[in-house]
Structure 1
Amino acid sequence: MYIDIKRRRLVLAACGLPLALPALPTLAQPVAPPGLDVPYEPSPPEVVDAMLKLAGVGPNDTVYDLGCGDGRIVIAAARRGAKGVGIDLDPKRIAEAKANAAKAGVAGRTRFRVGDLYASDFSDATVVTLFLWPHVNLKLKPILWQQLRPGTRVVSHIWEMGQDWPPERSETLGRRRIHLWTIRDAHKRAR
């Protein structure tokens, strides 16, 4: 397995994170494959549960996971009674997510599609989940502000949204962090 340590340390340092973070469990590809913005790095089940809990996901929610990978966050949201939508650039991951939702018995509450996050419509979301890299979060931030209604919650595993949008809450699970934001009217005016 090839690990670009120098690049990882630069990204961590640029985000103000400790350089000695452990390798992420089940790291499939530490460098983004050609045509993808980030490598496939699934969130551990305890992080998925904590993200959904932090966002207060329940039966009245529509949860969008941007960069959904194998669908685990969308499936966990559906198990809580929410509707879930996953978007990913990788057709292999979308096929895997659909199969996983069927195995979990929640296919009727989930949808998965291949799509470009920057060109996708997720305006009906009440919760958006992310486990992307810092540059992707920053590029998505104005799109989130534009599309999402006030009151929509945004939860990110590890990465923040820049100094001009600090998280309302952050939690630590071991050495992992999750962050919560809520879309406000001020964000709508800021775009």
Structure 2
Amino acid sequence: MMEQELMQSISVGKEATSKTTALVLAGITGGIGLAITAVCIPFVAPGFRRICLPYVPATTEQVKNILQALKGRSGSLIDIGSGDGRIVVAAAKAGFQAHGVELNRWLVYYSRIFALAQGLSSKTYFFKKNLWKFNLNKYDNVVIFGVEEMMDELQEKFKSELKPNCSIVVCRFPLPNYKPIVIIGEGVDAVWVYETPLK
């Protein structure tokens, strides 16, 4: 009888341990799934906006072409949709007081850490803001990697907000209604340079 009670007690103990283990594993799996979702949402969310502006890192050639387009310029610079911050950091190295505006919180954090690691945190700043609600009127230079669907609206924003003699460096797609001063590079690495007032 005592042996049977002991066996039952061991069986109940094993069952309780199995349930606890299953609950712990379910909690860990759920936590990992939630963490992955939280990290991925900012990268997937742009696809659900009115104008999808995905994160596509600039190539080394594109950065080189942008810096060439800015040669002889100085002052403040804003990179609209600054992504991982590589253009802002390159501009700061070239002597600009460089800012980036980016909607993706994780890319803003990454950019700030990247600038800090390069010793440029005092010459850079990254805003977590919507570019359509961000005023550009204090900047001497603007860089944008846009998509075709946004360029009409963007050129209107430039016309209403940018001060005279502001240099605009446009990557991937040109402004549809204005003639660039110069085009540097070819294909996806090409940049179109404009100056305000737009003509």
> Normalising by structure 1, what TM-score?
0.75
Corresponding residue to 1:100 among 110, 114, 117? 114
Structure 1 residue matching 2:136: 3-state secondary structure: coil
Quote the Cα distance in structure 2 between the aligned partners of 1:135 and 1:125.
24
Shift of 1:57: 5.7
Q: Name the counterpart of 1:13.
A: none
**Does residue 177 of structure 1 match 2:160?**
no
Q: Which amino acid aligns with 1:47?
A: Q
Report the alpha carbon displacement of residue 147 of structure 1 after superposing the two structures with TM: 1.0
Shift of residue 146 of structure 1? 1.1
Structure 1: any 5+ residue segments left out of the alignment? 1-28
Alignment of 1:81-120 (within 5 A): 81-120=95-134
Which amino acid in 1 is paired with 2:100? G
Taking a change above 3 Å as real, the CA distance of residues 94 and 31 of structure 1, as seen in their structure-2 partners, is closer
After TM superposition, the runs of 4+ consecutive aligned structure 1 residues lying more than 4 A away are 29-32
Larger helix fraction of residues:
2
Contact 1:31 1:39 in 2 (8 A): no
* 2:169 equivalent to 1:155: yes
**Judging changes above 3 Å, is the alpha-carbon distance between structure 1 residues 76 and 41 closer, same or farther for their aligned structure 2 residues?**
same
Contact 1:57/1:82 (8 A) holds in 2 = no
Fraction of identical pairs, as percent:
21
Structure 2: which 5+ residue stretches go unaligned? 1-42
Q: Contact 2:172/2:188 (CA < 8 Å) preserved in 1?
A: no
The count of corresponding residues between Structure 1 and Structure 2 is 156
The answer (yes or no) to whether the contact 1:62–1:83 under 8 Å persists in 2 is yes
Q: Call closer, same or farther: CA 1:42–1:57 in 2, change over 3 Å.
A: farther
2:81–2:101 CA contact under 8 A, matched in 1: yes
CA RMSD in angstroms comes to: 2.1
Deviations 1:101-128 (A, max 9, x none): 0111100000101111111012111110
Tell me by how many angstroms 1:85 deviates: 0.7
Q: 1:113 to 1:128 in 2, by over 3 A?
A: same
Match 1:74 to one of 88, 91, 110: 88
- TM-score when normalising by structure 2: 0.72
SS at match of 1:108: coil
| Offset at residue 174 of structure 1 (A) | 6.1
